[in-house]
Structure 1
Amino acid sequence: MSSRRILDIELLRGVAVLGVLVHHLQSMPFPGGLPGFESGSEYGQFWWGVDLFFVISGFVIARGLIPLLRGCQTPQAFWREIRDFWIRRAFRLLPSAWLWLLLMLSGVLLFNHSGAFGTVQANLQATLAGFLQFANFRFAESFMHFEYGTSFVYWSLSLEEQFYLLLPLLILVCRKRLVWVLLALVAVQLFTWRSALLMSIRTDALALGVLLAMWSSRPSYLVWEPRLLSRRWAGPLMLIGVAAVLSVMASPPFNLASYRIGVLALLCAVLVWIASYNRDYLLPKGKLKQLLVWLGARSYGIYLIHIPAFFAVREGWFRFAPGGSQDVATQPVLALFCALSLIVLLSELNYRFIELPMRNQGARLVQRLRASRSALPSSGVTSC
């Protein structure tokens, strides 16, 4: 399968990160909140953006990794590919994640007169959980019980890191039975009541993404291409319609539905399936698509940065505005504008000076390791 960039997947990343932003604005960390946002959350919520991220991750990772691993003829070649995959993932994700963990902890210690960043103890524990990739388990333990800390969004990053570690091993163990194992994993979770712990380790969306990637290499994938969506407005209406259903199902009236999370994962998988053909089915070329693709390319940084940016604006208002926090309550739109501007600026800087350089550094390290391996005397080992 080609490893070329799929712009329609980047578009969905943009949609996903916007969903997360709107969800956190519904419980805006500024006094006063935004007019209409809290009342609107009764009818629709947007935390399903995280599930969309999970499906995208499963699809993108499996699309490149599974063909590589299945092409390996020896255990040595298999483990070499896994090593290279883990190195690339580590350089892609960890530098930004660790940087913002440290910056948030610095905010707690040095820029926290209003208490916006929370307590030192909670944030020390949250930082440790983020560094060691068990933030999802801490999130489940703390949910509705005690303060997590500013870096609470790291629960989903930890789940994805665990997925990156385990997926190659699952491929090795399951081999030709991988499809059935993943289907069983999705089916079991579809009607399972999600406790806080199961919400923090939900793998049905990730598994659906992997299944989509595996299907994309089969002839039937082309047969089922949704060509009807090439008609004018059909694709955008599909995108808006699915997003609306996702938002309604994420709202309080469905809180007690055991099937809710499973259905959200399936609907997100539908969007990723449509986007995977990369034929502008969801949104035609234009300024709006360019904006969403731009957001998608920087979605990782936006996801890491948006909460500390909200809290930094709240702290800044507390310190420097004449009326302190009360000014935020009377000027929430201005506060939001400042927060969004800060998010855009910092995510762009993070993308240019952290994400891209470290991603390239990881790729160069893999190339050096491969070159050093190929320079060794031939041992008769067959590579991938």
Structure 2
Amino acid sequence: MNDKRIMDIELLRGIAVLGVVFHHLQGSLFRDGLAWLGSVAAYGQFWWGVDLFFAISGFVIARSLVPQLRACTSAAQFWQRTRDFWIRRAFRLLPSAWLWLLLMLLATLFLNCSGAFGSLHWSLSLEEQFYLLLPLLVLLCRKYLAWALLALVLVQILTLRSALLMVIRTDAMALGVLLALWTARGSYRHWEPKWLGRYPGLGPLLLILSCLGLGWLATDGFNVTRYRVGALAVLCALLVWIASYNRDYLLPRGLLKSLLAWVGSRSYGIYLIHVPVFLLVREAWFRLAPLGTTGLNEQPLLAMACAAGLLLLLSELNYRVIELPLRNRGAELVQRLGAARSPVPSTGVTSC
């Protein structure tokens, strides 16, 4: 399976992370909240960006990993490829996560006059557990993997989500994996939504309506169904399905798409960094303005501009200095381990 990045998937990553960033403006950047943000939240919330991330992760990881694992001819080869996958994921995810966790802890201790850094919240564990468990699921379920995933999705969709179950939701990830498995079948091409390409304005309209619909489903006042989280997972998976063909169905190529795809390529850093940046701006405002966060609320556009500039700068630095170099280090380590276990060609000379 081709591991090349899909621009339409990067587009969805960009939309997902922007939704999460916007969702955290209220409470993280503006501690006391803004009236207009509260009004927006009453009609549409954007925490569904996390579910879209989950669906994307399930698809992107499974489309390359599952075929590799299924092609293994021995248990040793299976565990070698699983180990290589875990090494690449660790080098990809953990250095940035640990760096920003450490910086948040240091800010809590030494840069916290306003109390902005008084609490620490981190939410990467579910995705990291998925990376650990997916190879084991492939091993245990074998040819029944799709059925096991489908059962997992149905159980969650038909279950009323409590606060605890919201934390462990995996239906969007499972749907992403199912989509990746489907790409190996002929029916995947048969069901390609080519009709979106025949009407250029239809894809962007569908994308906008989907985002609005996801936002509406995510609101606390949505009472049409008790199973809104499952509905969110299905809608996110449908967007990933359309994007998986990489035919510009959702948005034509242009400046807007390039910008969103750039944001998508930096989405991991933006996801990690945006809350620390919001808290840092609050702390700086407290030190520079006697009114503290009240002064920040009186100049929301300036505060958001400062936060956006700092977030873009730090996420680009994180991408260039941390993510790319260590991702390459992980790939090099996997190559060295592969070379070390390759048999040495015989030279015809025996040693004593």
The TM-score bracket by the shorter chain reads over 0.9
Tell me how far 1:69 sits from its aligned partner.
0.4
Which whole-Å deviations, capped at 9, do the CAs of 1:150-198 have from their partners, x for residues lacking one?
2x2x32x110110010010000000011111000000011121111221
User: In the alignment, is the contact (CA less than 8 A) between 2:28 and 2:275 conserved in 1?
Assistant: no
1:192 equivalent to 2:159? Answer: yes
CA distance in 2, matches of 1:190, 1:259: 6
Which whole-Å deviations, capped at 9, do the CAs of 1:114-157 have from their partners, x for residues lacking one?
10011xxxxxxxxxxxxxxxxxxxxxxxxxxxxxx32x2x32x1
Q: Which residue of 2 aligns with 1:17?
A: 17
Q: Which residue of 2 aligns with 1:253?
A: 221
Q: Which residue of 2 aligns with 1:212?
A: 179
Q: Which residue of 1 aligns with 2:51?
A: 51
1:338 equivalent to 2:332? Answer: no
1:268 equivalent to 2:236? Answer: yes
CA distance in 2, matches of 1:297, 1:336: 22
Which whole-Å deviations, capped at 9, do the CAs of 1:226-277 have from their partners, x for residues lacking one?
0011121111011011111100000111269431000000000000000000
- List runs of 5+ in structure 1 lacking aligned partners: 119-148, 379-384
Q: Which residue of 2 aligns with 1:177?
A: 144
Which whole-Å deviations, capped at 9, do the CAs of 1:67-112 have from their partners, x for residues lacking one?
0000000011000000000000000000000000000001100100
Q: Which residue of 1 aligns with 2:134?
A: 167
Tell me how far 1:32 sits from its aligned partner.
5.3
* TM-score, L = length of structure 2: 0.95
DSSP 3-state at the match of 1:253: coil
Q: Compared with structure 1, are the counterparts of its residues 175 and 31 closer, same or farther at alpha carbon in structure 2 (3 Å cutoff)?
A: closer
Aligned-partner residue type, residue 240 of structure 1: I
Q: Which residue of 1 aligns with 2:334?
A: 366
Which whole-Å deviations, capped at 9, do the CAs of 1:18-65 have from their partners, x for residues lacking one?
110111124453255445111111111010000000000000000000
- List runs of 5+ in structure 2 lacking aligned partners: 347-352
Q: Which residue of 2 aligns with 1:103?
A: 103
Aligned-partner residue type, residue 299 of structure 2: Q
Q: Which residue of 1 aligns with 2:350?
A: none
Aligned-partner residue type, residue 179 of structure 1: A
CA distance in 2, matches of 1:90, 1:258: 37
User: In the alignment, is the contact (CA less than 8 A) between 2:242 and 2:249 conserved in 1?
Assistant: yes
Q: Which stretch of structure 1 is more off in the superposition, 203-212 or 323-332?
A: 323-332
DSSP 3-state at the match of 1:72: coil
Determine what percentage of the aligned residue pairs are the same residue: 65
CA distance in 1, matches of 2:73, 2:342: 16
1:88 equivalent to 2:55? Answer: no
What is the aligned length?
345
CA distance in 2, matches of 1:69, 1:87: 15
Q: Compared with structure 1, are the counterparts of its residues 31 and 260 closer, same or farther at alpha carbon in structure 2 (3 Å cutoff)?
A: closer
User: In the alignment, is the contact (CA less than 8 A) between 1:48 and 1:247 conserved in 2?
Assistant: yes
CA distance in 2, matches of 1:6, 1:218: 19
CA distance in 2, matches of 1:103, 1:69: 37
Aligned-partner residue type, residue 17 of structure 1: V
Q: Compared with structure 1, are the counterparts of its residues 202 and 345 closer, same or farther at alpha carbon in structure 2 (3 Å cutoff)?
A: same
User: In the alignment, is the contact (CA less than 8 A) between 1:44 and 1:247 conserved in 2?
Assistant: yes
Q: Which residue of 2 aligns with 1:354?
A: 322
DSSP 3-state at the match of 1:343: helix
Q: Compared with structure 1, are the counterparts of its residues 376 and 80 closer, same or farther at alpha carbon in structure 2 (3 Å cutoff)?
A: farther
DSSP 3-state at the match of 1:258: coil
Tell me how far 1:211 sits from its aligned partner.
0.1
User: In the alignment, is the contact (CA less than 8 A) between 1:31 and 1:326 conserved in 2?
Assistant: no
User: In the alignment, is the contact (CA less than 8 A) between 1:26 and 1:41 conserved in 2?
Assistant: no
DSSP 3-state at the match of 2:44: coil
CA distance in 2, matches of 1:288, 1:91: 31
DSSP 3-state at the match of 1:251: coil
DSSP 3-state at the match of 1:116: coil
1:316 equivalent to 2:284? Answer: yes
Tell me how far 1:361 sits from its aligned partner.
0.3
DSSP 3-state at the match of 1:254: coil
CA distance in 1, matches of 2:229, 2:31: 31
CA distance in 1, matches of 2:304, 2:345: 61
1:302 equivalent to 2:270? Answer: yes
DSSP 3-state at the match of 2:203: helix
Q: Which stretch of structure 1 is more off in the superposition, 332-341 or 359-368?
A: 332-341
1:221 equivalent to 2:221? Answer: no
Q: Compared with structure 1, are the counterparts of its residues 55 and 286 closer, same or farther at alpha carbon in structure 2 (3 Å cutoff)?
A: same
Q: Compared with structure 1, are the counterparts of its residues 233 and 336 closer, same or farther at alpha carbon in structure 2 (3 Å cutoff)?
A: same
Q: Compared with structure 1, are the counterparts of its residues 244 and 326 closer, same or farther at alpha carbon in structure 2 (3 Å cutoff)?
A: closer
Tell me how far 1:298 sits from its aligned partner.
0.3
CA distance in 1, matches of 2:297, 2:235: 37
